[in-house]
Structure 1
Amino acid sequence: MPKPPYRLLLSLLLVAAITGCENEKENPFAIAAGKIGHLERTARIAQLDSIFAQDSLVRDTTKLELGANDKIEVYEKGGSHLLTLSPGGDSLKRIGNVRIRDARYLTPEGIGIKSTYGDIKKAYEIRKILSSLNNVVVLVKGSEAYFTISRESLPGALRYNNAPVEAVQIPDNAPIKYMMVSWD
């Protein structure tokens, strides 16, 4: 005697639900709008111990007791440096800036600390280039992330001065020195 079709339909729905739940697991290394892995833009510094319960936080307790805003480093159990968090300037004591330290953290476009300027150009529209004595900072449209490239990666005439740098003057193979996310 054949099985009623509703059993087959029920079985298929169950498999789809299980598969859907597996696909909805949060990527602990995804960088998205207002979120870096498990860390959300709205998180307060006091919540970091619970957000990173599986990891280790390193703080300068002397500076924290004195009320100074100091960086908080996040390490994976086993020692890999994941993130460096800087408090924001708001009264709610939230995270203002995040420095990405681990190559597993990627934007939806696949950009991470192992990417190059050419990768950034392909993934984003360049909004602005800021120059300093040792680095150039690349700001992109549509992302809270920004990227620092060492002047050592630039052509010789641009390396040793504070002259403005245009987007076309940065070589595509220039590596990212720092990758930051700004929530301030």
Structure 2
Amino acid sequence: MIKRNFLSLIVASLLIMSCTNNDQFIVEKGKVGLITTETTVKELGNIFENDSIVTQLSEGALGDNYFQDDDKYLIYEKGGKHLLTIVPKEQLDSTSTIKSIEIHDERFKTKAGINLKSNFSEINATNSLRPESTLQSVTLFVDELNATMTIDKEELGLRDFRTQKVSLAQIPDLAKIKSFVVWFN
């Protein structure tokens, strides 16, 4: 009887730990890992207590730079692997919620398995996409995730720096993702 209860306790603990580990890397609309639309900058230290956070603060409204950058919080694993780049809505404010998260680690993925290593055909099969061309890339707007994914124009065989319109049919199935950003607005 005691062995059975002990075994049940071990199995339950393993299930809870595996669910928590899966949540750590899930990407959904309004959620990246353990970060949600309600998460504030000051909570990042607790969420990533086992990782390293590199803080790059802007000059804010008080600075002389009219073309100022946003604050950025770069999250690295202890081994040095870059996981995420987090940008808050309000600069120089620890109570600010999150504006966007750029994903740098392929372990972060949607329930359909879409991640940084996914190719265009995998993304197109599970999401409705709107392409927009820039000088060097094509940005795919993924409304289901409130996310953008960027594909380098070289993946399309285009080497010129024009903003010509690109349709989904022009993007090769095996085109790789250059960046993956989830927006929290």
Interval containing the TM-score (normalised by the shorter chain):
0.7 to 0.9
* Identity of matched residues, %: 31
Deviates more, 1:142-151 or 1:67-76: 67-76
Structure number with larger C-alpha Rg: 1
**Residues 1-184 of structure 1: pairs in structure 2 closer than 5 A:** 14=8, 21-22=16-17, 24-27=19-22, 28-61=24-57, 63=59, 69-89=70-90, 93-126=96-129, 128-156=130-158, 159-184=160-185
Count residues with an aligned counterpart.
Answer: 175
Aligned residues: CA RMSD = 2.9
TM-score by length of 2: 0.80
Superposed displacement of residue 167, structure 1: 0.8
Provide the rounded CA distance (Å) in 2 between the counterparts of 1:105 and 1:29. 4
Runs of at least 5 residues in structure 2 that lack an aligned partner in the other structure: none
Give the conservation status (yes or no) of the 8 Å contact 2:148–2:181: yes
Provide the rounded CA distance (Å) in 2 between the counterparts of 1:115 and 1:18. 32
TM-score by length of 1: 0.80
Deviates more, 1:82-91 or 1:64-73: 64-73
Provide the rounded CA distance (Å) in 2 between the counterparts of 1:58 and 1:20. 32
- With over 3 angstroms needed to count, the CA separation of the structure-2 counterparts of 1:174 and 1:183, relative to structure 1, is same
User: What does the per-residue CA deviation read over 1:123-168, in whole Å, with 9 as the maximum and x for residues that have no partner?
Assistant: 2122x11111111110124212220011111134x74321111111
User: What does the per-residue CA deviation read over 1:63-94, in whole Å, with 9 as the maximum and x for residues that have no partner?
Assistant: 47967632110001110100001122598511
Q: Which runs of 4+ in 1 moved over 2 A?
A: 14-26, 60-69, 89-92
Secondary structure of the residue aligned to 1:72 is strand
Provide the rounded CA distance (Å) in 1 between the counterparts of 2:170 and 2:114. 20
Provide the rounded CA distance (Å) in 2 between the counterparts of 1:48 and 1:23. 22
